[in-house]
Structure 1
């Protein structure tokens, strides 16, 4: 029988703010999501971790976080294992376009996890909209952001997150490998690259080539298999008719009000309806 933990496991600091910004991150939606989670669960699994907003809000005692983005996983590892070094590096990095371009051009993959973490966090705080996007050679190619005073080194948040991550098993793996480790009574939260609302949707276009319709079908099939094994499964996705068609037979679809802040056209930003699926 799976061991179970009460849903909120927090100390005096309460829910934590993620240390990263992320396109499609759930920080603003947590209040709408939490009422639809189980009161108790075993281990928490998040295979598309991104900024980990739901994880840092819940702060479960046992968790597995994973992603296919090696630099992102190494960033989590570097902060967890060497927070002092990450903070030291970030504290020395100026908010300067030329320095940003120099950092962006670095061959970072041969550096230590702490150096990868500082590089990733710096670019996340200073690049346009905090986007993470790479070219065909895996080179980061997001332009410099127009910020007056970005909080490049938020030391309290970094230290609290590093402490929380001591409880976590970090994995570089795809969603199928990660989720298949879930046991009856565990909670798995999938927050994949969204199905676009339109073929030209800027918000998701930089990820759709890497996660297409067939991948979404595989995700749906895995989610259903996990449900039938007694695993608590929750998913987020767009309100696209494609998503509704994929999940309408075996899942409950809950509308969630969200804001679209990342769009090349200001007029296309604003409130939209996403789906929380259980």
Structure 2
């Protein structure tokens, strides 16, 4: 197999012909970070596109790194994640105004927490130093913080408009828990290292407040049926927690609840407004309006929208590993066999697949008429060390 790790990105394919379906000056990029996203692999994908094609299909679209990079007459995308597809639809369908209103409400309240930190800087610094220097006990610390929260309860309660007025008591509880936990952790670190300067104290306090805000919305997200959350609101919450979850991870516990913590101090000033401004652009709206968006099994998707000979399909299926589900949608070896059989024996269009190389996967696609190349990839996100940092991936094409 040919190794293509060091090949430069070009808008030409292997024969030197210009690829008409790639726009190097494109204004579009993925709508969100997604596990296994292919932004870093575009330098391998673009040079191996067909010389040109009519329509574009992607049955495992994820964040849409390839989808937003290519130009086609029409687009057909699909993903098994109901929440992801609801997000795609919310950006462009009749719920668009509701979705962006909810998103802007989240941003407004997020920014208010920075204001609360700065407005009460003297209080937070004095309280922390009193605890750090053993002038007050942990019990007294809790009393002081709880008194502060009660005093400012109206301000905290007022952060949420009626569209997100769900169990505000939970938000207040999260503020209490996160402030106490963070201050105790800061004291522990000072004992191991050195005294924190005032600006670091405030950064950590802001992290505690924003972690509380994040945890509250995570709670709402995990209880959308209980609170009867509308689809557009759920998409707004989904997008928020996906952008502020630690390392962009997408993980559920055994009860089916999303359980990734807040990203931490580096996320406090993350420019979320810039992301939302992008989602509002006419370029992205135009692309989505020219796209059929489905939430189906890949085979049902292809049976509903059949690619023709001059169409192109990009495939980024779940990998053949024990950790093959990121969004409560298991993809088994039987599914891998179904996919290989469909693409090799039933698909009329030209297709490209990127997938982790295992003996099982290689055996499915080591067939006459398919071209297989390999490359090494460094994962941007590591899930509990279940994936090696450096693994070989395959690019498989039927052209």
Q: TM-score range by the shorter chain?
A: 0.7 to 0.9
| Match status 1:108 vs 2:122 | no
Other structure's SS at 1:51 match = coil
Q: How many residues are paired up?
A: 265
Q: Call closer, same or farther: CA 1:182–1:38 in 2, change over 3 Å.
A: same
- 114-123 or 89-98, which moves further after superposition? 89-98
**If each structure's helix is expressed as a fraction of its own residues, which one has the higher value?**
2
RMSD: 2.8
Shift of 1:98: 1.6
* Greater C-alpha radius of gyration: 2
Unaligned 5+ segments in structure 1 are none
Other structure's SS at 1:38 match = coil
**TM-score under structure 2 normalisation?**
0.60
Q: Call closer, same or farther: CA 1:137–1:264 in 2, change over 3 Å.
A: closer
| Match status 1:170 vs 2:293 | yes
**TM-score under structure 1 normalisation?**
0.84
Other structure's SS at 1:28 match = coil
Alignment of 1:182-261 (within 5 A): 182-196=307-321, 204=324, 206=326, 210-227=330-347, 229=348, 231-250=349-368, 251-261=370-380
- 234-243 or 86-95, which moves further after superposition? 86-95
- 25-34 or 262-271, which moves further after superposition? 262-271
Listed one character per residue, the Cα deviations across residues 219-268 of structure 1 (whole Å, up to 9, x for unaligned) are 110110244x3x11111110222221211114211113322122256897
| Match status 1:91 vs 2:104 | yes
1: CA distance, partners of 2:279 / 2:326: 28
Q: Call closer, same or farther: CA 1:84–1:7 in 2, change over 3 Å.
A: same
Other structure's SS at 2:66 match = helix
Listed one character per residue, the Cα deviations across residues 13-42 of structure 1 (whole Å, up to 9, x for unaligned) are 614121200110001111210111112212
2:235 to 94, 111, 117: 117
Shift of 1:155: 3.1
In structure 1, the residue matched to 2:381 is 262
Other structure's SS at 2:41 match = helix
2: CA distance, partners of 1:68 / 1:205: 11
Is contact 2:312–2:351 with CA below 8 Å preserved after alignment? yes
2: CA distance, partners of 1:270 / 1:136: 26
Is contact 2:30–2:64 with CA below 8 Å preserved after alignment? yes
Other structure's SS at 2:251 match = coil
Is contact 2:29–2:64 with CA below 8 Å preserved after alignment? no
**If each structure's strand is expressed as a fraction of its own residues, which one has the higher value?**
1
Is contact 2:35–2:326 with CA below 8 Å preserved after alignment? no
